[in-house]
Amino acid sequence: MCATERRGVTVRTGNQASAGELLELVRSGRATTRGALQRATGLSRATVGQRLDRLFRAGWLREGAGGPVGSPLGGRPSITLEFDDEHAVVLAADLDTRHGRAAVLTLTGEILAEHAGPLVVDDGPEAVLGELGRWFAELVAKSGRSADAVCGIGLAVPGPVDSETGRVVQPPIMPGWDGYDIRGRLGRAFAEHAGAGAARVPVLVDNDANLMAYGEQRAGYPDCSAFALVKVSTGIGAGMVVGGSVYRGVDGGAGDIGHIRVGADALCRCGSYGCLAAVASGGAVARRLAESGVPAASGSDVRELLAAGHPEATALAREAGRQVGDVLATVVTLLNPGVLMIAGDLAGTPFLTGVRELLYQRALPRSTAHLDVVTSRLGERAGLVGAGALVVEHLYAPERAEERLAALGV
């Protein structure tokens, strides 16, 4: 027996390949006919048929809309197989410090219904997650789907997350959230507001920069084996996708570059002095603007000023970009990414110019020779797309798919 991988998922070949692993081969596009599945796995025609039958009965597979395709060796044409993305939907939400965004997505990431509005993390998890549950119920109704079509929920939050438990760990800008049972509360909130037919569904939680990176990499740079995204909003965080999977470190702390010390004496919200976020985040720029008499309280306020061409905001954003670029020179040297994406409230021309100035000055030419420094393609939807993809990859990964098929009785 041998094995192949896609996005960190191992698919066995040989007589042990499961129905879930056949589904993974179809979803990845590596084997999309019965004959191709036989060749990829070594399973007999009868065994492939039996395992595919389970997937058809679950509603997870369908025959391709294009119909039969000819065999390169002649003979009877083969029927193509496709993942049926219409059998369920996913809920996703992306929380920032002062607002939130939520959506209903298909299993392939198409947004069916969406809502954005004020949602202040300082109000605490009970209130915020309860409101998200209400948003979700209204969005499901708006999308025309029933509550029982929801197979999972993904949530992006602005703090470090233990991916095993789904709990945030000592989040500097999320007071009252440390160790809170986000999964349980959000699952209950959706079920309460959605009413009859809403079952408790799995909830996955991750850091917002991680999920933005995952969404952007999958949507725009699927062949990039080392992808980094830096989100600069009220705070600063980074997400990395390495080998097709989010890199989180040992306990979810990877990418927390906003708390790298840069030698300044500014007090950070984490309680330390000299953090990058204290001097170069959207929140830091807003404070400096407010001190000079310009009304600004958050990264989103700075974004509006930049869009209006405000000269002082423009100058401060460029200076913040240079400070971040200085730190990113080390990140690029360590990770050697193919793409470095700048996202968030400050991700405009002034900030990006500042980043490039210091990054290319300080990093070795070898580290930047094949580096593309870009801005977000998905914009404010990146976290939603990443959260939805996280749920789908979890639920339809081979081992989890087998568990779900058994629970469905097929």
How many CA atoms are closer than 13 Å to the CA of 402, on its beta-carbon side?
11
96-133 per-residue burial string, b: 16 or more CB within 10 A, e: under 16:
bbbbbbbbbbbbebebbbbebeebebeeebeebbbbbb
Q: What average pLDDT score do residues 279-294 get?
A: 95
Classify residue 200 as exposed, middle or buried by CB count within 10 Å of its CB (0-12, 13-18, 19+). exposed
Other Cβ atoms within 10 Å of 76 Cβ, number? 9
Q: Is the pLDDT of residue 355 over 50?
A: yes
Spell out the alpha helix ranges (H) of 173-231: 182-194, 208-220
- The rounded distance, in Å, linking the Cα atoms of 336 and 369 is 10
> What is the tens place of the pLDDT at every residue in 171-183?
988 999 999 999 9
> What is the tens place of the pLDDT at every residue in 326-342?
999 999 999 999 999 99
Phi-psi region of 341 (alpha: psi -120 to 50; beta: other; left: phi over 0): beta
- Of the pLDDT bands very low, low, confident and very high (cuts 50, 70, 90), residue 196 is low
- % of the chain beyond a pLDDT of 70: 92
The one-letter amino acid code at 406 reads A
Q: What average pLDDT score do residues 239-267 get?
A: 92
* pLDDT attached to residue 199: 67
- The rounded distance, in Å, linking the Cα atoms of 185 and 166 is 11
Asked whether 168 and 253 are in contact (CB, 8 A), the reply is no
* pLDDT attached to residue 302: 95
Q: What does the chain come to in residues?
A: 410
- The rounded distance, in Å, linking the Cα atoms of 162 and 120 is 22
> What is the tens place of the pLDDT at every residue in 14-73?
557 999 999 999 999 999 999 999 999 999 999 999 999 999 999 999 998 655 555 444
Mean pLDDT in the chain? 91
Q: Is the pLDDT of residue 396 over 80?
A: yes
- % of the chain beyond a pLDDT of 90: 84
Q: Is the pLDDT of residue 212 over 80?
A: yes
* pLDDT attached to residue 14: 52
The one-letter amino acid code at 79 reads I
> What is the tens place of the pLDDT at every residue in 74-123?
455 678 999 999 999 999 999 998 899 999 999 999 999 999 999 999 99
User: Between residues 77 and 264, which one has the greater pLDDT?
Assistant: 264
Q: What average pLDDT score do residues 366-380 get?
A: 95
- The rounded distance, in Å, linking the Cα atoms of 234 and 288 is 13
Cα-to-chain-centroid distance, residue 300:
21
Q: Tokens in use for 61?
A: 């597979």
- The rounded distance, in Å, linking the Cα atoms of 115 and 133 is 12
Q: Is the pLDDT of residue 371 over 60?
A: yes
> What is the tens place of the pLDDT at every residue in 311-320?
999 999 999 9
Nearest to residue 157, comparing CAs of 76, 222, 100?
100
- Of the pLDDT bands very low, low, confident and very high (cuts 50, 70, 90), residue 200 is confident
Angle between helices 34-41 and 45-58 (to 10 degrees): 120
Q: Is the torsion defined by CA of 10, 15, 20, 22 positive or negative?
A: positive
- The rounded distance, in Å, linking the Cα atoms of 136 and 206 is 18
Q: Is the pLDDT of residue 2 over 50?
A: no
All structural domains of the chain: 3-83 (1.10.10.10), 89-209+383-408 (3.30.420.40), 221-379 (3.30.420.40)
Q: Is the pLDDT of residue 266 over 70?
A: yes
Q: What average pLDDT score do residues 203-213 get?
A: 97
Q: Please tell me the pTM assigned to this model.
A: 0.90
Angle (CA) 228-239-172 rounded to 5° is 140
Nearest to residue 304, comparing CAs of 289, 325, 291, 319?
289
Q: Is the pLDDT of residue 402 over 90?
A: yes
Asked whether 56 and 28 are in contact (CB, 8 A), the reply is no
Q: What average pLDDT score do residues 151-164 get?
A: 94
